[in-house]
Chain A
Amino acid sequence: MKQVSAYKDNGGGVWPWVALISLCVAVFCLACAVSRSEAMSTCAGPQISSADRLAGGVRAAIGGRFFETADIYFHKGVPHASKDALRNCVFERLAEAVSPSEHVHAGGQEIAEIMPWLRLAAYCNPHDVETYLVASFWLAGEAGRPDLALDVLREAEENNPKEYRIWLERGRILLRDRRLAEAARAFDVGLAFWPGSQEPDGEDARHGLRNLLLHRAILLELSGDTAQAVRDLRRIVELYPSSESIRLRADTLENGRAPAAPAGEILTTLLRENAGERSACHREDEHGHDHGRDHDPSRDENHQEHQVAREAKNVP
């Protein structure tokens, strides 16, 4: 009779899974380390990108996934809404009770919970400037840590040299902190680096240039350098000929008169409008409500400030 071993092993148990998971993690870490190593970064040309080709696309995809996770965390764990055919069935109702899917945002200190995912996204894809910009915006704003926000932008600059968007954001953070001289220098650097990696004729680049010029013009006005301020404002009008308020402001300054809206208030409005624009939710259409507010000029005492700020961000 065939003897059956009492200790015959019918499989490796958990060890094959442990080995597989460990191998995947090790390969990924190695790919990250190889791509970011000093030796790789000092070489030039396509022959150094074999590791990048192998892992670069994957890293960018994983970085994008982490960025999406940060967005999900911003929405308190709720992913993008889907179109369901069985809305009222018992399983859908139970699932809704277990995992709420209301459209809410993290606020206050809860914002800090999105940071680990932005950190991971930046590790995976350090050339995605948007990740750093989002992180610095929320660190400086809701989290109340402009110092950390500036550190983030410093890291962004190391990984993405000559990228004007970083300096624009840096300037805004310094403005909020009332460090006007440093902010002005940041906008100068941003203008020197414009358009960075963007197409100069593209709408994003033109919009970025307008923001840089407008912020710098207002700061120059505050510091008394009206001539340069007027030149910056005229440059904006060349980019966007329909910017009547900006044209009017340039004409007023050139004639030596004081504009109706003081520069300080324009700056405050610009920062507030930028904060509102950056924190606007892109899921409004999914959830069927609108965060927009109708603007009635006749009821707005600060109409001209809003007009200048709005022209700074609107598409012509």
Chain B
Amino acid sequence: MRRILTIASIVWMEMLRRKDIYVLLILLGAMLAGIVSLDIFGLGGVAGYVKDTGLLMAWLFSWIMTVGVSTRELPQEESRGTIFSLLAKPVRRMDLVAGKWLGCWTVAAAATLAFYVLTAVIILLKGGKFSFPVLVQSYFLHAAALSVVAAAGLALSTRLHHDAAAAMTYVATGAAYLILPRVSEFMAGLSGPRGIAMMVLYYMAPHLELFDMRRRFVHSYGPLHWGIFAVILAYGMLFTALLLLVAWLSYRRKRFARGALG
């Protein structure tokens, strides 16, 4: 466990050095400040659009950051040659994968927390109100979604170069969020092998839309039932574990040759 935490802390130090989080935080603040300055026909106290835009940007930025970080870690270790000293420690491959995932996920979750806090502050300054339990639930489900994205990025980066892994992770997770919920519509007119293929895809791919509570938060629907909240969190943890298993299986027999890297 100590090895996993040490590897995770290295990821943290790397992220703090790179300053990506600060850039995204400033960008989010600037966008929200611009949106808040919009003149809404002279009306005041309207904050729904700030909530919506703030959380949308939080989702977008956290997605970009999570994919970027998770797909970079392993290829970077290999290209720098530091993988040899790591594995010679000895650090088990599973520890390496778990440590990298933990670091990537906690960094993304912390950055997302900062985005949420900034958005909440701006909503309050604008005179809007929101439900704190709904915000808390939204954050935790969002973090669960990021754990799945981080695991997916890590799994792909075990065998692909950083750029390829990032591209594939963006496409896969983007499609899972945008297109997978609509597969049910597409299936309305399908039957036979195509229908079966769609059904398999529908059940096997991660349903990231389940982790998105923006509609509840923006339109004041009230908190999600805690039982359903727990089920969705468990679903996220299960999928993360599955993807980490795939990552480990892919990485455990990978051979590294000095001179072939970089």
Report A-chain residues with C-beta under 8 Å of the C-beta of B10. Answer: none
A251-292: which have CB < 8 Å to B? none
Residue pair A117, B27 in contact (C-beta under 8 Å): no
Say yes or no for B244: interface residue by CB 8 A criterion. no
Residue pair A113, B216 in contact (C-beta under 8 Å): no
In the complex where A14-B24, A98-B212, A115-B43 touch, is A8 in contact with B181 (Cβ < 8 A)? no
Residue pair A4, B64 in contact (C-beta under 8 Å): no
Residue pair A82, B185 in contact (C-beta under 8 Å): yes
Nearest Cβ distance between residue A5 and chain B, in whole angstroms? Answer: 7
In the complex where A100-B215, A115-B46, A116-B48 touch, is A151 in contact with B27 (Cβ < 8 A)? no
In the complex where A84-B184, A86-B187, A115-B46 touch, is A97 in contact with B79 (Cβ < 8 A)? no
CA distance A87 to B185 in the complex (A): 10
Report B-chain residues with C-beta under 8 Å of the C-beta of A100. Answer: 215-216, 221
Report A-chain residues with C-beta under 8 Å of the C-beta of B64. Answer: 14, 17
Say yes or no for A37: interface residue by CB 8 A criterion. no
Residue pair A97, B228 in contact (C-beta under 8 Å): yes
Report B-chain residues with C-beta under 8 Å of the C-beta of A113. Answer: 46, 48-49
Residue pair A94, B75 in contact (C-beta under 8 Å): no
Residue pair B20, A14 in contact (C-beta under 8 Å): yes
Q: Report the nearest B residue to A12, measured CB to CB.
A: B68
Nearest Cβ distance between residue B125 and chain A, in whole angstroms? Answer: 16
In the complex where A95-B209, A115-B40 touch, is A77 in contact with B215 (Cβ < 8 A)? yes
CA distance A15 to B210 in the complex (A): 30
CA distance A89 to B231 in the complex (A): 15
Residue pair A94, B215 in contact (C-beta under 8 Å): no
Nearest Cβ distance between residue B80 and chain A, in whole angstroms? Answer: 5
Report A-chain residues with C-beta under 8 Å of the C-beta of B215. Answer: 77-78, 98-100
CA distance A171 to B162 in the complex (A): 63
Say yes or no for A181: interface residue by CB 8 A criterion. no
Say yes or no for B72: interface residue by CB 8 A criterion. yes
Residue pair A119, B224 in contact (C-beta under 8 Å): no
Q: Report the nearest A residue to B15, measured CB to CB.
A: A13
Most buried by A among B42, B76, B203, B211: B42
CA distance A83 to B46 in the complex (A): 33
B161-198: which have CB < 8 Å to A? 162-163, 166, 181-182, 184-185, 187-188, 190
In the complex where A99-B215, A113-B48 touch, is A5 in contact with B27 (Cβ < 8 A)? no
Report B-chain residues with C-beta under 8 Å of the C-beta of A11. Answer: 68, 72, 162-163, 166
Report A-chain residues with C-beta under 8 Å of the C-beta of B259. Answer: 1-2
Residue pair A4, B79 in contact (C-beta under 8 Å): yes
CA distance A95 to B259 in the complex (A): 50
Q: Report the nearest B residue to A14, measured CB to CB.
A: B20
Residue pair B228, A112 in contact (C-beta under 8 Å): no
Nearest Cβ distance between residue B84 and chain A, in whole angstroms? Answer: 10
Residue pair B80, A5 in contact (C-beta under 8 Å): yes
B201-229: which have CB < 8 Å to A? 202-203, 207, 209-213, 215-216, 218-219, 221, 224-225, 228
Report A-chain residues with C-beta under 8 Å of the C-beta of B203. Answer: 91
Say yes or no for B65: interface residue by CB 8 A criterion. yes
In the complex where A14-B20, A14-B64 touch, is A151 in contact with B80 (Cβ < 8 A)? no
Report B-chain residues with C-beta under 8 Å of the C-beta of A4. Answer: 79-81, 261-262
Report B-chain residues with C-beta under 8 Å of the C-beta of A166. Answer: none
Report A-chain residues with C-beta under 8 Å of the C-beta of B187. Answer: 85-86
Report A-chain residues with C-beta under 8 Å of the C-beta of B76. Answer: 10
CA distance A76 to B261 in the complex (A): 54
Q: Report the nearest B residue to A132, measured CB to CB.
A: B41
Please name the 10 residue pairs, one residue from A and one from B, whose CB atoms are nearest each other, closest first: A113-B48, A116-B49, A85-B187, A77-B215, A4-B81, A84-B184, A77-B219, A14-B20, A85-B188, A99-B215
Give 8 pairs: A residue, B residue, CB < 8 Å, sorted on A: A8-B262, A11-B72, A73-B219, A78-B215, A99-B215, A112-B46, A113-B46, A119-B41
B-side residues, CB < 8 A to A, are 18, 20, 23-24, 27, 38-43, 45-46, 48-49, 64-65, 68, 72, 75-76, 79-82, 141, 162-163, 166, 181-182, 184-185, 187-188, 190, 202-203, 207, 209-213, 215-216, 218-219, 221, 224-225, 228, 231-232, 258-259, 261-262
A-side residues, CB < 8 A to B, are 1-2, 4-6, 8, 10-11, 13-15, 17-18, 21, 73, 76-78, 82-87, 89, 91-92, 94-95, 97-100, 112-113, 115-120, 135, 139, 143, 145, 148, 151-152
* Interface contacts beyond A87-B184, A152-B41: sample of 5 additional A-B pairs, CB < 8 Å, sorted by A: A13-B20, A77-B219, A94-B228, A100-B216, A148-B42
